[in-house]
Chain A
Amino acid sequence: MAVNHVRRYTLAENLAARPETGLSASTEPALATLSGRALHANHGIPLNLDWIKDVRVNTSAVERRAQTLVTRRTVKKEWQAAWLLRAISCMDLTTLSGDDTHERVRRLCAKARQPIRRDLVTRLGIEELDLKVAAVCVYHNFVETAVRALEGSGIRVAAVSTGFPAGLSPLEERVAEIRRSVDAGAHEIDVVITRAHVFEGKWQALYDEIATFKSACGSAHMKVILGTGDLLTLRNVGRASVVAMMAGADFIKTSTGKEAVNATLPVGLVMTRAIREYAHETGAAVGFKAAGGIRTAKQATEWLSLMKEELGPAWLEAKLFRFGASGMLADIERQLEHHATGRYSADFRHPIA
């Protein structure tokens, strides 16, 4: 992605866009560093149409980078185990099915507190890490259940919102939905955008929609789901990423998990490059969430190395990086057992959620 004009937003401008936060540059703690520069939380900037127009993504070149990135980096042995544990700590353990029940969500929360078997924790010698997933992600109906089940764990509760997954219900309802989830105790709101705005090039409408979501979120973290499988072209993904960040996204997220194609590395590459560009231009750190289609331990390390390579170590932590996954944990558990015992493991040896 290229932004041709030298455009430097000061943190003050960034904050000025959201005066209600009451923060100033001097008091806000650094969230991350990138190329030696301290970054702060994103509060959005005014919509900049030139920037959006200047977004350039060469699909073939991005695909080549995505293909070779995963062959350029690999982790083995204890490093692999450590990376897989890190993947767990960045996981939004998710259930978003039509057949979800309160009990099902409580089971998930129990798994979230104790993602791997106690004996494995001992064998790996990681008691001190007090390993747990980053968040549990559910529909609004189950927010309260999850909040109660996770009380005292430090695990956050994320709610998918705004007419998830299509995002086509009336705006007032979508905004009300966010408020309800926040009121119910959700710490994080995963919102979906109106994909039509992207296809129609209605960047102002997209910006306004996301900005409205942001103010409805209040202090809850907003993850903006772009629905990259629907957007189809990487150029669209790049543009939508920039608009979402300008409108104040805390995270940008690939997919709902319900599209035909979900998180792919080329999409991830375009979004992380957009985050990098935005950080350089505004001094704000925006997180990234890869969601949908990530099922294996191998994919987990691939995504982590993409984050490390493109954005740096700050994006290997839950505050700026998440996996949205339901099946991946099981594969990671088996790999960790293999690491601990030297023998290949089986699914049924690990407690399900």
Chain B
Amino acid sequence: MSIAEKFVSMEYGPAPEDPREALVWLDTHGRQFGHFINGAWQKPASGQYFDTADPSTGEKLASVAQGTSADISSAVDAARAALDSWKALAPHARARYLYALARQVQKHSRRLAVLETLDNGKPIRESRDIDIPLVARHFYHHAGWAQLLEQEFSGYTACGVVGQVIPWNFPLLMLAWKIAPAIATGNTVVLKPAEYTPLTALAFAEICQEISLPSGVVNIVTGDGSTGEALVKHPGVDKIAFTGSTEVGRAIRKATAQSHKKLSLELGGKSPFIVFEDADLDSAVEGLVDGIWFNQGEVCCAGSRLLMQESIAEPLIAKIRDRMSTLRVGSPLDKAIDIGAIVARVQLERIQRLVDQGVAEGATCWQPALPMPSRGLYFPPTLLSNVHPASIVAQEEIFGPVLAAMTFRTPREAVELANNTVYGLAACVWSESINVALHVAAQLKAGVVWVNSTNLFDASCGFGGYRESGFGREGGREGLFEYLEPAWFKQAPSLRPMKLPAGKAADTQPDSAAPPIDRTVKLYVGGKQARPDSGYSIEVRSPDGRLLGEAPFGNRKDIRNAVEAARKAEAWGKATAHNRAQVLYYIAENLSQRREEIAGRLSAVVGQEHAAAEVSRGIERVFSYAAWADKYDGAVHDPPFRNVTLAMHEPVGTIGIVCPTEAPLLGFLSLVMPAISVGNTVVAIPSEAYPLITGDLYQVFDTSDLPGGVVNIVTGRPAELMKTLAEHDDMDAIWCFTDEASGTSAKLLSVGNLKQVWTNEGRAIDWFDVKQGEGRWFLHHATQVKNIWVPYGE
């Protein structure tokens, strides 16, 4: 075609990125890669390799080592050997290494971008303009954290050896999100890249060599799911960080339950994209392009559920269709295409299957008539309208360029529909009214909310989900906590189980002729004293076997009722922090009023001196959290463009708390007070040694204006009650501070809804020590950070 003809047609023509340099790089490695262990390339123990291919052509790019547990072991050993000196390195020295990584990524930015596109199939525009710059930014930002670590996180220490498993959708970016915070905080790493996309991780390994990162600090082991499983299960790993499917996340939760491995999970999503009638509709349409048609829709936080206000649904759909018709699908290396290749055939088939199923369930499928490449794995941009919330395409993550559209009538219904999902990763709200946008953003169950924008990321802002989208944050100050632990906690001795009285002692005769008036302790549910469903009681005896009283024998149904009551009391989380502080102060005041009688009764179990100390320390503790209630602020992050990101501390929701056996009063207050001070509601199981404390507590709560249902207390056999709590799918978290076996069991049983689990890992906590027993560590677990992005400008 001549220039004159092109002048007439005004087509774009091909604009291929030249992949030569990247291919030459593969050639210099003989198109075959071993694992990167202890600073050097190592052949796989099994001698086995597998191929990685370009999904847009099917051509093999290289073969990479199939990791086995032997490879994982040698990588973990290398990381362990490197740990002490890396951790002991001056923060400034670690900062220099991270800075060098950032610089080196920039120097090789195009090679990395092209490799990423070759391996993954994403458009070169995206790898060049989004993925790789964010990778460099992540290392820069965390070089800064490495520098400031001792000042900003004093008292915290690295977890140790970290195992990281990352997905194929943003291979190098996910590597950066994992490795940068881990090594900045003094951990060493074994990372397993995704089976489909190992190449940029291997290129990164070479970068580690180039900057002379100490051997063993970063180790890369390639392989499939079995390799990841070996890493997750390896006993030498202190923490697992995983990004991927919710299904695998569940398996990892299970696999790590019988260990002390710290865990962070960034899982799937079905994120709502809410458009109000007062939105800039054309911009909202572009938001969708950046949302569901970004990275072929293979994005965990993709705005895949479009919720449109009814009044604008029709014009909006028309605009979306028009815009879809101008999307370009084609070779990922072409600089002027919007949608590249789907990463693998199995994924392509999954997308098709789900779309077919959606249509079978009544959805209307529309795809623009776009020229599609004749070979390679491609899926056209797809709009499913007339989707109902019950449809599979409204519920399941498709991970493809498929948008499911629904309508709503009012802001309230928008929130209801948006939250009608097991996921809670991200959400978009489009409205020109700041009132509507922020009001809705505050109510969404999602870790990230973008106002009038989509898929904005930055190293300074935390990213991570609510509900079954996982727990933990990546990026920002909040992300660093995933790789740190209180130094004292790592050193804390094992908890010696408290011996509960076995036999009965001879009951002493009453002093006077008339017996004391019977004191019946009940359960405390929804602000009311309640008899146990079972109709049974259990004896409570002092260590020397004296009968102190009887506590209700609570069962599953009592737990169920308590959880319902706690859910109903969620308005507590929306009460003002000042209001919550007032209630907590009042609790302290009333505890103080009754200090002697409570201590008197408690002394039968823990001794007089100890009991008095528990009460007075307990009063202080309640005061502390009354003080914290309006001070555990969020932050305003400052990503590099005109925007404010509000990092809000939100309550986790409803928390089940299995209180320590020791310190029946102080232990209870040390866990329940931080939880409610930031707005959670609680179902607590008090100390097994002295469940009668319940009676004292509810009398205090009842006189302190604590709304009914904010704290619910169920006595019984803690281990059994804990199981019901851990399995309950309407609980957001479970804290278990008794013995190690209960902690393990809580983790195992939490997989139903992937609730957050926090335990003492079988360690003894000195509740009397302010450094151990109260403060930010507790508040951190009582909250989750929601990052609300608000770009602004007129």
Contacts and interface: CB of A to CB of B under 8 A. Distances in A.
B130 to A, nearest CB: 9
B6 interface: yes
B277 to A, nearest CB: 6
A79 B13 contact: yes
Interface stretch (A82-90, A107-115, A140-148, A285-293): A82-90
Interface stretch (B279-287, B669-677, B761-769): B279-287
Chain B: interface secondary structure?
A: loop
Interface in A60-93: 60-65, 68, 71-79, 81-83, 85-86
Interface in B326-377: 326, 335-336, 338
A197 interface: no
Nearest to B123: A72
Given A35-B322, A58-B452, A75 B15 contact: yes
Interface in B431-472: 432, 452-453
B322 to A, nearest CB: 5
Contacts of A235: 794
A85 B15 CA distance: 18
Contact of B14 (A4, A76, A86, A125): A76
A313 B15 contact: no
Contacts of A63: 793
Interface in B262-302: 277-284, 286-287, 290
Binding site secondary structure of chain A = helix
Nearest to B128: A71
Given A60-B643, A74-B336, A125-B4, A83 B283 contact: no
Interface string B777-794: 000000000000001111
Given A56-B279, A73-B336, A124-B3, A78 B794 contact: no
A82 B322 contact: no
Given A1-B281, A4-B277, A4-B311, A59 B794 contact: yes
A60 B2 contact: no
Nearest to B282: A273
A128 B4 contact: yes
A224 to B, nearest CB: 21
Residue among B10, B11, B278, B314 with max Cβ neighbours from chain A (10 Å): B10
A56 B281 contact: yes
Most chain A CB neighbours (cut-off 10 Å) among B432, B642, B794? B794
A35 B324 CA distance: 12
A129 interface: yes
B280 A58 contact: yes
Interface string A7-48: 000000000000000000000000000010000000000000
Interface in A228-245: 233-235
Say which size band chain B's interface belongs to. 35 or more
A56 B315 contact: no
Contacts of A125: 2-4
A2 B282 contact: yes
A246 interface: no
A57 interface: yes
Interface string B100-120: 000000000000000000000
Interface string A193-216: 000000000000000000000000
A206 B662 CA distance: 79
A126 B7 contact: yes
A309 interface: yes
Contacts of B314: 6
A194 to B, nearest CB: 22
A308 interface: yes
Contact of A129 (B7, B15, B277): B7
B639 to A, nearest CB: 13
Contact of B129 (A35, A56, A71, A124): A71
Contacts of A72: 125, 336, 338
A60 B642 contact: yes
B331 to A, nearest CB: 13
B312 interface: yes
Nearest to B14: A76
Contacts of B643: 60
Going nearest first, the 9 A-B pairs with the smallest beta carbon separation are A79-B13, A82-B6, A61-B283, A60-B791, A2-B281, A58-B280, A59-B793, A82-B7, A56-B280
Interface of B: 1-4, 6-7, 10-15, 125, 129, 277-284, 286-287, 290, 311-312, 314-315, 322, 325-326, 335-336, 338, 432, 452-453, 642-643, 791-794
16 contacts: A1-B282, A2-B280, A59-B793, A60-B642, A61-B280, A61-B452, A64-B286, A65-B283, A65-B286, A73-B336, A78-B3, A81-B3, A82-B4, A85-B7, A86-B10, A129-B7
Interface of A: 1-4, 6, 35, 56-65, 68, 71-79, 81-83, 85-86, 124-126, 128-129, 233-235, 273, 304-305, 308-309, 313, 316
Given A61-B283, A65-B283, A124-B3, 6 more contacts: A1-B280, A56-B280, A58-B279, A64-B290, A72-B336, A74-B15
